[in-house]
Amino acid sequence: MEFELTKKQRDMKDALTQLGKFVIRPMSLQMDREHRVPEDFLQRFVAMAGSMRGSDEDVTAAFEDVKREPPSLDKPSQMNRTSLVGAEELAWADASLLLCLPGPGLGGPPIRGSGTAAQKAKYFGMIKDLEKQGKLAWGAYGLTEPAAGSDVAGIQARCRKDGDGWVINGRKCYITNGARAVWVVIFATVDPALGRAGHRAFVVEKGTPGFSVGKIEDKLGLRASETAELVLEDCRVPAACLLGGEESYAAKSSGFQTAMKTFDATRPLVASMAIGIGRAAYEHARDAVKDRYMLGRPIARYAAIVERLARMHRRLEAARMLTWRAAYMADVGQPNAKEASMSKAAAAQAAVKACVEAIEIVGAEGTIAKEDQLLEKWFRDIKVYDIFEGTGQVQRVVISKRILSDLKSF
């Protein structure tokens, strides 16, 4: 595995660090309080990202479908690693803002992985066209329901074939960018009794009759990011909205696999975001101990403090290695479900611990909300990283299932 970043990746990382330090962090607390990221900033960011993307096929592929050979050991891609490096740096600056960035978002991977050529062209094209017109456009991913979070197989939203289309009924909750999305990938079942085999995935466009937004959540952290409830009431969609087309569901549980494959791509990404927040907290604590004194000594002279710093740093670095490995495997076309879960489980825990310990090291000041002291905000932002995209427990279930299935062959 190659640890070096390419020059393009280094340049992107440096540009994002500067943007984060001088532009994003100074407005971070205000965005948190106002529950929004200013639209003019997002417009400028989209323009900047567009120019950074340039003709780099690897990065462009992260945003749209690019017809090319699948990656392999001989012809590796850099797409996943590039996304990870960018995600860590932006989350280091402000994780809510990262989730607010326009684009297909979590809806991208299922369309890229399971959509037909026509669906890819239509839904990625829709976002691209709006972007070209100077408008901001988002996609979203609607899987979770009030009674089906970790238990993905237990979704209750129903879909039934009706003439030349489908009718969907159900409720989706906690959907990132759900209210503003121009389309959402919605998972429903033809019959809950069929479990995974009953799952179907649809792309439902904003404005479709019967498709509406419920409440917008008021959250502990990531408060500038929109988290919405979506309601489908006799929502009729054309057959062309069924992701992958009807024949693709002949294989048992392919709808469920679409949801799962999304996680293989997004868990390392979410892990990188967690590492970005954890690193921000660790760096804050590291810098704070240098000029603080207790009993006449700089607190960095106390073994208990430096030991903690070393542990925080070590856990975050180890988590990054796991995360880059999961991305590397995706970039050379190898299955990475176990490694994606390992990276998410390790990164979320390392980062939650880094945020808790950073506040403990800094003391009371770490609990105060200030524009130039964001520990309190990072402490609130980080918790959900051990919950969404699969909780820590669920990652461990995924890992253990893979380990045990390996053992079965002995």
Ligand X SMILES: Cc1cc2nc3c(=O)[nH]c(=O)nc-3n(C[C@H](O)[C@H](O)[C@H](O)COP(=O)(O)OP(=O)(O)OC[C@H]3O[C@@H](n4cnc5c(N)ncnc54)[C@H](O)[C@@H]3O)c2cc1C
Residues classed as catalytic? 389
In the shown chain, the binding pattern of residues 74 to 113 toward ligand X, with x for contact by CB under 6 A and - for none, equals: --------------------------------x-------
- Determine if 258 is a binding residue for ligand X (CB under 6 A): no
Neighbours of 392 (CB within 10 A): 17
Piece of the chain touching ligand X by CB under 6 A; list 174-182, 190-198, 265-273, 370-378: 174-182
Taking the complex as a whole, how short is the minimal distance between the CB of residue 386 and ligand X, in angstroms?
A: 9
Q: Which residues are within 8 A (CB) of 77 and not within 5 positions of it... i.e. 6 or more apart?
A: 58, 61, 71, 331, 332
Considering only residues 198 through 227, tell me which ones interact with ligand X, judged by CB under 6 A: 219, 222, 227
Nearer to ligand X, 45 or 388 (CB): 388
**Distance set, CA 176 to CA 14, 26, 97, 244, 291 (Å):** 28, 24, 12, 23, 40
Q: Could you give the CA distance from residue 174 to residue 217 in angstroms, rounded to a whole number?
A: 7
Considering only residues 346 through 365, tell me which ones interact with ligand X, judged by CB under 6 A: none
- Determine if 150 is a binding residue for ligand X (CB under 6 A): yes
Which of 123, 141, 202, 379 contacts ligand X by CB under 6 A? 141
**Distance set, CA 243 to CA 61, 109, 123, 205 (Å):** 19, 12, 11, 13
Taking the complex as a whole, how short is the minimal distance between the CB of residue 146 and ligand X, in angstroms?
A: 8
Q: Could you give the CA distance from residue 216 to residue 186 in angstroms, rounded to a whole number?
A: 18
Would you put residue 163 in left (φ > 0), alpha (ψ -120 to 50) or beta?
left
Taking the complex as a whole, how short is the minimal distance between the CB of residue 65 and ligand X, in angstroms?
A: 21
The amino acid that residue 391 corresponds to is T
- Determine if 143 is a binding residue for ligand X (CB under 6 A): yes
Piece of the chain touching ligand X by CB under 6 A; list 82-90, 233-241, 265-273, 390-398: 390-398
Taking the complex as a whole, how short is the minimal distance between the CB of residue 266 and ligand X, in angstroms?
A: 10
Which of 176, 248, 254, 336 contacts ligand X by CB under 6 A? 176
- Determine if 149 is a binding residue for ligand X (CB under 6 A): yes
Piece of the chain touching ligand X by CB under 6 A; list 6-14, 47-55, 60-68, 140-148: 140-148
Taking the complex as a whole, how short is the minimal distance between the CB of residue 262 and ligand X, in angstroms?
A: 9
58-66 contact pairs (CB < 8 A, 24+): 58/82, 59/8, 62/108, 63/103, 63/104, 63/108, 63/124, 63/128, 64/104, 64/120, 64/124, 64/128, 65/111, 65/112, 65/115, 65/117, 65/120, 65/121, 65/124
Contact residues for ligand X, defined by CB under 6 A:
106, 140-144, 149-150, 174-176, 219, 222, 227, 384, 387-391, 393-394, 397
